[in-house]
Amino acid sequence: MSTGTRTYGGWRERRGFGLAGMSGAQTAGALGVVVLLLGLSLLNPRVLPIVGVPLGLALGLWTVRIRGESAVAWLGRHATWSLARRRRRASYRASGTYRLPGVLATFAMVETSSAGGPVGMTWDQPTNALTTVLPVEPLGLSLVTEEEVSEWVGAWDDWLAHLGYLPDVKHVVVTVHTGPSPPVPPTSRHPSVPSTMAAEVLSELTEPHVSGDADHQALTLVSVTVGVQRNDLEASGQRLLELVSTLSTTLSRCGVRVLEPMSPADLVHWVRSAFDPTQPPTVGATWSDGRPTSTEEFWDHYRHDASVSAAYVWDEAPGARFTPAVLTRLFGPSGYHKRVSLVYEPVAAHDAVREVDRQAEAAAFRAQYRRRLGRDELARDRADLEKARETAADQVRGAGLVDVGLYAVVSASDLTELARCTVDFENRAGESRVRLRRNYGSQAPAFACTLGVGYVPPRGL
C-alpha cells in the first residue's frame, strides 16, 4: 500500500524583476486598461493625459513583478510584515508577560498521566487542538539490507494511510534535531540503575557521538495533533494517549524504537533549548519556564536570546523518485544546531477519493487540450498524467492522501557564524534534491513549526 502526497509550504520560485509570468487576472486587467485608453483617445483625446497617468501607474504596480509577484503584493506584504513585527515586539516586551513569543503565545501545557509516568501535552487554544510529542530512536541504515529498508518504507506508507481513517487527527510532524549537544536531558528516558558499573555503561551509551572535533547528537520527535471535543481537555488527553499507544505499535515497524511521550519537564526543556541551546536543563516544569528572555524577528533571520536562526521552507518537492539514503545529508548531524520538520496533514478518506479523481481528470483534460491545439506533449505533462493515474490506482487499492510540507531552522551564535551554517545547510539540501528557500518575512512562524508542539503555519506561508 502506498500513500499519495500533495505538497505545500512555500512560495514558488521568484527571481528577477520584470513583466514575465503574469497571471490570467493580471493579463486581463492589462488588456482592459489598454482598451479603455484606446477608447478614450478616440472619444476625447484631451482626457487621455488626465486619466492615462493614474491608470498607467496603477497598471505598472499591478503588472510589474518583483521576484515573481506583483509590485502591489510585494509592497503590501512588506507593509503587513512591518506592522505585525511592531505589534509582536510591543506585546512580548510588555512588562509582566509570561507567554511564549509570537504564534506560541496562545499555547498552554496540559499535564496528564500514563503508565510510564506524567505526560506533557500542548494545547492550542484558538484551534482547540491537543498535541503530544513522542521521542523515537531510528535504527539507521547501516548494517541493514535493502529488503528491510523497503519493509520500513512500506510500513510508513501504511501508517500515513491509516491516519486518513482517524477523523480526530489534524496533522503529524516529524522533527529531526541535530547539534553539538543533546537538546533534551535523559530525565524520564532512563530509569535509575542499581549498580555503579551499569551506570557507567549507560553513561557511555548515551554520550554524544564524537565526529572530528565536535560532539554530535540527533533527536527525532513525532508529534501527533488531534482536535479537542467539547472542550474536555482531560478526556481528550486520555483519548490522545490511547490513540498514540495504538499508532506506536505500527510506528515501531517503521525502523524506529518508540519511547514514552515527553514528560512536562522534558517538553519545557525542549522548547527552552530551542530558543537558547546554551541553557542548562530547566528545573521548573511550567509552560512559562520554556519562554525565551527576548526575541526579535527580522526579514531574513530570527534573534532569540543568545542565538540567531534562519528559517527555511520547502519550495518544491523532488520531481523524481529517490532512495531513503538521499535525505541522509539533509537530516544528518552537523557542527551547528538545526531542526528539520516534515509536516503530514492527512486528508480524510472520503475526501481523498474526490481529490484524486479531480487531479486525474484535470491531468487528462490538459493532455486532451494540448492534442486539440496541435501542441507537442511535454515531458512534464506526460509525467503529471502518469503520476495522476498512478495515484488514482493506488487510492483504489487503499492508499491514503497526505499533504506534505517541510520547514527547517539553522541556529548559530551570531550572524557571521549563521552565514557559514546556512551555506552548508543549503548545500545539504541541494545534495538531497530538495529545493528550500529562506522564509523571508515570516521567520518566527517557521521557527515555531520546527518545535513540533502543534503549530503548523497556514499553507503558502
For residue 279, pLDDT beyond 70: yes
Report the pLDDT averaged over residues 25-50. 68
Alpha helices in 64-195 (DSSP H): 71-92, 146-163
Distance in angstroms (rounded) separating the CA atoms of residues 17 and 64: 7
For residue 428, pLDDT beyond 70: yes
Could you give the count of Cα atoms lying within 13 Å of 268 in the half-sphere of its Cβ?
23
What is residue 204's predicted lDDT score, i.e. its pLDDT? 44
What is residue 217's predicted lDDT score, i.e. its pLDDT? 77
- Phi, psi of 387, deg, nearest 5: -65, -40
Least confident among 159-173, 311-325, 334-348, 356-370 = 356-370
| 7 vs 316, more confident | 316
What is residue 321's predicted lDDT score, i.e. its pLDDT? 67
| 207 vs 397, more confident | 397
Q: Break the chain into its structural domains and give their ranges.
A: 4-10+98-347+400-449, 20-63, 353-392
For residue 72, pLDDT beyond 80: no
Are the beta carbons of 112 and 233 closer than 8 angstroms?
A: no
| 72 vs 299, more confident | 299
What is residue 261's predicted lDDT score, i.e. its pLDDT? 93
For residue 198, pLDDT beyond 60: no
Query: What is the pTM assigned to this prediction?
Result: 0.70
What is residue 193's predicted lDDT score, i.e. its pLDDT? 40
What is residue 427's predicted lDDT score, i.e. its pLDDT? 92
Instruction: Using alpha carbons, select from 250, 253, 205 the residue that is nearest to residue 224.
Output: 250
What is residue 3's predicted lDDT score, i.e. its pLDDT? 47
For residue 236, pLDDT beyond 90: no
Are the beta carbons of 160 and 402 closer than 8 angstroms?
A: yes
What is residue 195's predicted lDDT score, i.e. its pLDDT? 44
Residue 221 bridge partners (DSSP): 135, 175
Q: Report residue 90's pLDDT band, with 50, 70 and 90 as the boundaries.
A: very low
H-run or E-run covering 235? helix 233-251
Q: Report residue 205's pLDDT band, with 50, 70 and 90 as the boundaries.
A: very low
* Percent of the chain residues topping a pLDDT of 70: 59
In order of 104, 135, 155, 260, 406, the CA distances from 325 in angstroms are 34, 22, 17, 27, 18
Distance in angstroms (rounded) separating the CA atoms of residues 268 and 109: 9
Least confident among 75-84, 151-160, 416-425 = 75-84
Burial class (CB in 10 A: 0-12, 13-18, 19+), 452: buried
| 196 vs 288, more confident | 288
What is residue 139's predicted lDDT score, i.e. its pLDDT? 84
| CA-based max dimension of the chain | 99
Judged by DSSP in three states, 177 sits in strand
- Angle separating helix axes 24-43 and 47-63, nearest 10 degrees: 170
* Percent of the chain residues topping a pLDDT of 90: 27
Q: How far apart are the first and last CA of the chain?
A: 31
Looking at residue 322, what DSSP letter applies? -
What is residue 341's predicted lDDT score, i.e. its pLDDT? 95
Proportion of the chain in helix, strand, coil states, percent, rounded to 5: 45, 25, 30
What is residue 304's predicted lDDT score, i.e. its pLDDT? 93
The three cell numbers locating residue 74: 510585494
| 91 vs 247, more confident | 247
The three cell numbers locating residue 294: 527576548
pLDDT digits over 310-349, tens only? 999 988 777 666 677 778 888 888 889 999 999 998 877 6
For residue 212, pLDDT beyond 60: no
Instruction: Using alpha carbons, select from 280, 285, 263, 276 the residue that is nearest to residue 190.
Output: 263
DSSP string, 351-363: HHHHHHHHHHHHH
Report the pLDDT averaged over residues 160-167. 82
For residue 16, pLDDT beyond 50: no
What is residue 206's predicted lDDT score, i.e. its pLDDT? 41
For residue 19, pLDDT beyond 50: no
Q: Report residue 386's pLDDT band, with 50, 70 and 90 as the boundaries.
A: low
Instruction: Using alpha carbons, select from 13, 19, 11 the residue that is nearest to residue 65.
Output: 19
